[in-house]
Amino acid sequence: MAPTRKVVIIGSGPAAPLFRGHIGHPPVRKFGLIVLGLLAVGYLHWPWTGRLAAQVREDSPLAGRHRMVEDQIKARGIKDNGVLAAMLKVPRERFVPSEAASQAYADRPLPIGHGQTISQPFIVAYMTEGLQLTNTKKVLEIGTGSGYQAAILGELAREVYTIEIVPQLADHARKTLAALGYRNVHVRTGDGYLGWPEQAPFDAIMVTAAPDHVPQPLVDQLAVSGRMIIPVGGAYQDILLVSRTPTGIVQQRTIPVRFVPLVRPPR
Ligand code: SAH
């Protein structure tokens, strides 16, 4: 007859045995404790590994940004490493209305309310690259809209001053930028045609709404060796690169685009 063995249950009670071991067999008990330990480590580890797994999920914002940078931006010739890093970092989904968040990394502009749009990612990258920013530069942006372009500029420049004519958009952008910690981006409500004379001169100026001519106040506020990127035209426009050299202003026509018009307040 086999010797009778006493069985002990380790756990919170007979109804919930975790596993069983034999009394009087220390190696087995030790093994049991090791397994328990491993289970505990695995359990504690889960939130971390779970988060990592979620980050690389196909539909995660980070995966969306990676695809955007590879397929829309690098593939079309943007090379500036600072611009690519900024586009990879700024959470575009935070700047679009929540109902459009799933489209945040699509290859097109998106509505942001008040008849306005956030520009297509490639255009943001193209215009930013044209400014040749470094972290010593002071930048003026006209047409804050969602604040996304301002955040990209804020990643690259020392200070960013941005002007939006629609008060609700300016307020919303100010809140989004503050929530994301952009303390070097300053939002003003007003008519950007006039620039921000108190902060001039600017090393770089970007206009993201289209006037039918280059506003003279903006030219006046451009520093020597400064660069301005601005869409100019009617319903369709060309992006102009306006540079101030020590001997004068130089204008260069670049790609065709379609921006919302730069509007002026009624006089
Ligand atoms: N840069 C924005 C998109 C710009 S859309 C972004 O990243 O989301 C163009 C913006 O220019 C709109 O929000 C529009 O209200 C604003 N705008 C139009 N005329 C303006 C003016 N005279 N001064 C300042 N902003 C103006």
Q: What is the full DSSP assignment across the chain?
A: -PPP--EEEEESSTTSEEEEEETT-HHHHHHHHHHHHHHHHHHHHHHHHHHHHHHTSTTSHHHHHHHIIIIIIITTT---HHHHHHHHHS-GGGTS-GGGGGGTTSSS-EEEETTEEEPPHHHHHHHHHHT---TT-EEEEE--TTSHHHHHHHHHSSEEEEEESSHHHHHHHHHHHHHTT-TTEEEEES-GGG--GGG--EEEEEE-SB-SS--HHHHHTEEEEEEEEEEEESSSEEEEEEEEETTEEEEEEEEEE--PBPP----
Q: Is the pLDDT of residue 19 over 80?
A: no
Q: Calculate how far, in angstroms, residue 160's C-alpha sits from the geometric centre of ligand 1.
A: 15
- Whole-number pLDDT of residue 73: 98
Question: Which residue did the predictor score with more confidence, 97 or 15?
Answer: 97
Q: Calculate how far, in angstroms, residue 208's C-alpha sits from the geometric centre of ligand 1.
A: 6
Q: Is the pLDDT of residue 14 over 90?
A: no
Q: Is the pLDDT of residue 28 over 70?
A: no
Residue type, 3: P
- Whole-number pLDDT of residue 233: 98
CA 256/CA 236 separation, integer angstroms: 7
| Catalytic-labelled residue, pool 119, 146, 225, 243 | 119
pTM for the full predicted model: 0.81
Ligand 1: which residue has its CA nearest to atom 13? 145
Q: Is 177 in the pocket of ligand 1 (CB under 6 A)?
A: no
Sign for the pseudo-dihedral over CA of 155, 157, 158, 162: negative
Least confident window among 38-47, 149-158, 195-204: 38-47
Looking at every residue in the chain, the average pLDDT score rounds to 87
Q: Is 257 in the pocket of ligand 1 (CB under 6 A)?
A: no
Given the CA of residue 260, which atom of ligand 1 is nearest to it?
A: 9
Given the CA of residue 152, which atom of ligand 1 is nearest to it?
A: 7
Q: How many CB atoms within 10 Å of residue 191?
A: 17
pLDDT in tens, 245-267: 999 999 999 999 999 999 999 88
Q: Is the pLDDT of residue 190 over 70?
A: yes
- Whole-number pLDDT of residue 59: 82
* Rounded mean pLDDT, 19-35: 51
Active site residue 146: no
Given the CA of residue 148, which atom of ligand 1 is nearest to it?
A: 7
* Rounded mean pLDDT, 49-53: 58
The pick from 165, 174, 196 for probing ligand 1's pocket by mutation, whose C-beta has the most ligand atoms within 8 angstroms, reads 165
Protein fold of 109-257: Rossmann fold (3.40.50)
